[in-house]
Structures are given as structure tokens and as C-alpha cells.
Structure 1
Amino acid sequence: MITRRARPEDAEAMAALLNDIIAIGGTTAHQHPKSVEAVGVDYIDGPEVQTSVVAEDGGRIIGWQSISLYQGESHIGTFVQPGIQARGVGAALFALTREQAQGAGITRIAATIRADNAPGLAYYARIGFRDTGSDPDFALDDGRVVGRIHRHLDL
């Protein structure tokens, strides 16, 4: 596995991975598929994107991570191919993300995780994020209340 900066030509594979995760449900607050174009603007090279990295294995993208400005804060999103979570992909992504974030002068990163996403909560805790708030009433479009946990990491 290698990690590297995301490039515009990665948008299709990144969108496919994200949309697979959305379709499965349970580990992302995203509820609707994202187009290749939206992934490019929102996570690779749009005006709010601060860092964007991918993990490749055998030339195939198996995970990606991006930090973008949202409401004045640097927010992180992490997406790893279903079935291979907790095998080091996220840690490898974050090592490069941290390096890029520090190089960009980012001093604090925010993460918002669904309260029912046990793997996501464990991942962000493992890499040093700490709880700073919650939104217990956060509901999905279908009305299910899943809550959200807000975490931050000071670099």
C-alpha cells in the first residue's frame, strides 16, 4: 500500500468508494450519492479543500482522506473500503494528512462522527481526536435519530 496526494483523475475511484459506503449505510452521515464532479470539488481541488490523500493497493484506491473548510473550521473526512477497516489504511492516510496539514499551517482539525458509528469513533480516538461536543438529536433523512459526536485534534 502507498499513500499519496489525491489528484483530479482520482475523483472517479474516490466517488465510487464513497458511494459504496453510502449505499451500505451506518458509517457516514452522507445519505445521498456524490457525483464524480462533486467529489473533485468537495474533496480534491475545490476552493475549500486544504488536504487530500489516497491510499492505493495494486494501483486501486482503497481509502481516502480530505480536510476542507466548513463553517470556518478544518473538517476531516475519512473513507476506507468496506471490509478492510482497522487494518492500517486509516493510520497510513492520517500520517500523510497530518504532514500536509502541518505544512499548510492548520493547527486544529474537527471531525463529526455519527454516534452509532463505533468503528469511526474508535478510529478518531486512536489517532488522537478528543470529544468536544455532541448533537444527540441528529437524524437521518428517514427520521432515524443517530446522533453525532464532535471531536477535535490540535496539531
Structure 2
Amino acid sequence: MIDTRPATPLDARPMAALLNAIIEKGGTTALVRPVTAEDLHDWMEEETPGRSAWHVAVAEDGEIVGFQWIEPAQYLPEDAAEIATFVQIGRTGLGIGSALFEATKKAARHIGYAWINANIRADNDGGLVYYQSRGFRDYDRWEGYKLENGEVVDKVLKRYDLD
């Protein structure tokens, strides 16, 4: 059984550990350098007040097994939020992402967003399938996107309309 709840600053350390394992494995996130608990705490605090929402997925034993957030992005219109999703390695396909997205959709509607944007590496098959299975549809593609470490990838942009 997976429960979801809003993330708190106390969740930053286990969230950073989960994300760092994904970053270290490589190939699925545009993030290429390890993050600290302080980084995540700062990201949660820096976001535009009232315009972002962070959720964690918690297993029965209390372990954080995934997290997701939405926030504004400069390249998106005011009525759109960017989404990011991270699930513990080895635990994909178990309903964690689905549970997180239900919480995020509710939060996005409450905030007043009309749609959610997913910005996904084109070589991230799991991410592409996840967002497609949630009902996101392709609307743009960025070719030759340069990551912080110099690696160049294509990005697929998908959108989910909240109405």
C-alpha cells in the first residue's frame, strides 16, 4: 500500500538520497550532479509561493519511495505548471507514480493551473511511457538540448489538460 502526502522539509534528506541514486544511474533525468537535502529544501522554499506543490509517496514502513512536484516555469504560460517525478530504482510499475499523480492533479487544480507540462529526455523510455499512460500528449520537441555536464539530448514536451 502506497500513501501520498505533501512533502515537508523533513523529507528532504530521503528525497535527496532517492534522487541521487537516479542521477548516479544516469539516462533518465536532466539533473546530472548530486543534490543535497539542503538543495531540495531550498527548492521547496524558493518556489513561487502558492504556485508549487510537492508530494511524497510513502510505503507501509514509512520509507519514501517516490516524489513529485509541480512549479511554474519561465518558458510556460501562467496557466501551466512543470512536473517532475522520481520513483525509487527498482520500484517502478508498482503504482507509486499513479498515486503521486492523483495528488498532484488535485493540487494543480486547487492552485488554478489549466495544464501540466512534462519535459522529458527523449532517451528516457520509462518517463515517456509513464507520462503517456497518465494521459499526457506530445506537443513539442527540443533537439540538441545541452545538459549541465555538456551531454546533448533531445527533449520531448508533453501536456496534460486538467479540464
TM superposition score normalised by structure 1: 0.92
Question: Which residue of the partner structure matches residue 54 of structure 1?
Answer: 56
Paired residue for 1:86?
93
How far the C-alpha of 1:153 sits from its partner, in A, is: 1.2
* 1:37 corresponds to 2:38: yes
CA distance in 1, matches of 2:135, 2:118: 11
Question: What is the 5 A alignment of 1:6-155?
Answer: 6-42=7-43, 44-48=44-48, 50-57=52-59, 58-71=61-74, 73=76, 74-141=81-148, 143-155=150-162
What's the C-alpha RMSD, in Å, of the aligned pairs? 1.5
SS of the residue aligned with 1:3?
Answer: strand
Question: What percentage of aligned pairs have identical amino acids?
Answer: 42
Give the letter aligned to residue 101 of structure 1: A
Residue 72 of structure 1, CA deviation: 5.6
Farther off after superposition, 65-74 or 122-131: 65-74
Stretches of 4+ moved more than 2 A in 1? 44-49, 139-146
CA distance in 2, matches of 1:61, 1:10: 8
Instruction: In structure 1, list runs of 5 or more residues that go unmatched.
Output: none
Count of residue pairs brought into register by the alignment: 154
**Cα distance in 1 between the residues matched to 2:123 and 2:62:** 32
**2:32, 2:149 within 8 Å by CA — same for their partners in 1?**
no
Deviations 1:15-59 (A, max 9, x none): 1111110000011110111121221122x3333361110001111
Structure 2 unaligned regions, length at least 5: none
Q: Which amino acid aligns with 1:55?
A: A
- Compute the displacement of 1:98 (Å): 0.6
Give, in angstroms, the shift of residue 129 of structure 1.
1.0
Scaled by the length of structure 2, the TM-score of the pair is: 0.88
